[in-house]
C-alpha cells in the first residue's frame, strides 16, 4: 500500500521529503570483514603503495615500504609520492566506488576495519600535503572522517598510515603475520619485476 501511494505522488510531481538512510558503523564493520582472511590484511596496503609508485620505480630507485608493529599500533610508510591530488577529502574513506563496470574502493577499508578502530593517514605531497583521520569509536552511528592541510616536509616519507587498537586481534599471530608480510613483498616484487625493501621492527 505504501509503495502504491509513493508511485501515485511521484507520477503527479508531488515532492516528498527525503532522509538519508543510516547504516550503523559497527554493523558495517562486522559484515564487511566477516569472511576476510588474515593474509589479506596488510598485503592490500603493500600492494597499494607499489601501485602508487609503479610508474617511477626502477632498480636504482625502488619502492620502499616500512612496516612497524607495536603493541597497539601499526605504522605503514612508503615513498610512493603521497595521495593523488585528484582524490578529494571525501573520497579517501569512501566505501564502494561504482564506475559503471565494477565496484571498487573496498579492499583498503576492509583491511582497516579488520586491523583496528582508528587510522591516521599523512600524505606528504608537495603542493598538496594532507592529513586524514577516521575513528570508529567517536561520534554517532555514522562513520565520520576528518581532514586538514599540513606543511610539506621534503625529509619525510611521502605517505604514512597509522592504525591503532589492533593488538587484541593480532597479538596471537605475530609470527604468522611477519612471515606473511615477507612472503607478500617477495611475491609482489617478483610479479612486477621490481625491487622492494621490507623493514621489520
pLDDT score at 75: 86
Sign of CA dihedral 79, 84, 89, 95: negative
Q: Has residue 8 been placed in a domain?
A: no
Phi, psi of 188 (to 5 degrees): -65, -40
Q: Has residue 139 been placed in a domain?
A: yes
The residue among 89 and 37 whose pLDDT is bigger is 89
pLDDT score at 131: 93
CA separation for the pair 147, 133 (Å, rounded): 6
Dump pLDDT digits (tens) for 55-92. 777 777 788 888 887 777 888 888 888 888 888 888 88
- Grid coordinates representing 182 are 615477507
pLDDT score at 188: 56
Stretch 141-163: mean pLDDT, rounded? 85
Dump pLDDT digits (tens) for 4-15. 555 555 555 555
Residue 201 has pLDDT above 50, yes or no: no
Stretch 34-48: mean pLDDT, rounded? 74
In the block, which residue shows the cell 625502488?
Answer: 62
pLDDT score at 16: 64
pLDDT score at 172: 47
The pLDDT confidence band at residue 185, using thresholds 50, 70 and 90, is low
- Dihedral of the alpha carbons of 181, 184, 185, 187, in degrees to the nearest 10: 160
pLDDT score at 10: 55
- Of 141, 132, 111, residue with least CA distance to 40: 111
Residues 6+ apart with CB under 8 A from 164: 72, 73, 116, 117, 118, 119, 120
The residues pairing with 162 across neighbouring beta strands, listed in sequence order, are 75, 120
Query: Which structural domain, as residue segments, surrounds residue 114?
Result: 25-200
Q: Has residue 154 been placed in a domain?
A: yes
CA separation for the pair 44, 109 (Å, rounded): 10
For the domain that residue 127 is a member of, what is the CATH number? Answer: 3.30.565.10
The residue among 22 and 135 whose pLDDT is bigger is 135
Task: Count up the domains in the chain and report the number.
Answer: 1
Q: Has residue 57 been placed in a domain?
A: yes
Q: Has residue 2 been placed in a domain?
A: no
Amino acid at each position: 500500500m505504501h509503495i502504491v501511494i509513493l508511485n501515485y505522488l511521484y507520477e503527479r510531481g508531488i515532492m516528498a521529503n527525503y532522509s538519508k538512510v543510516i547504516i550503523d558503523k559497527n554493523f558495517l564493520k562486522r559484515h564487511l570483514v566477516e569472511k576476510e582472511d588474515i593474509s589479506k590484511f596488510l598485503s592490500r596496503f603493500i600492494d597499494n603503495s607499489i601501485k602508487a609508485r609503479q610508474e617511477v620505480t626502477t632498480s636504482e630507485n625502488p619502492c620502499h615500504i616500512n612496516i612497524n608493529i607495536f603493541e597497539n599500533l601499526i605504522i605503514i610508510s612508503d615513498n610512493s609520492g603521497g595521495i593523488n591530488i585528484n582524490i578529494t577529502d571525501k573520497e579517501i574513506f569512501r566505501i564502494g566506488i561504482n564506475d559503471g563496470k565494477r565496484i571498487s574502493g573496498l579492499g583498503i577499508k576492509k583491511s582497516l576495519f579488520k586491523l583496528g578502530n582508528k587510522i591516521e593517514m599523512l600524505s606528504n605531497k608537495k603542493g598538496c600535503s594532507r592529513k586524514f583521520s577516521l575513528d570508529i569509536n567517536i561520534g554517532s552511528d555514522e562513520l565520520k572522517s576528518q581532514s586538514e592541510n599540513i606543511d610539506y616536509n621534503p625529509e619525510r616519507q611521502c605517505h604514512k598510515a597509522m592504525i591503532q587498537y589492533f593488538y587484541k586481534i593480532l597479538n596471537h599471530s605475530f609470527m604468522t603475520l611477519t612471515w606473511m608480510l615477507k612472503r607478500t613483498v617477495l611475491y609482489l616484487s617478483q610479479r612486477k619485476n621490481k625491487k622492494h625493501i621490507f623493514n621489520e621492527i
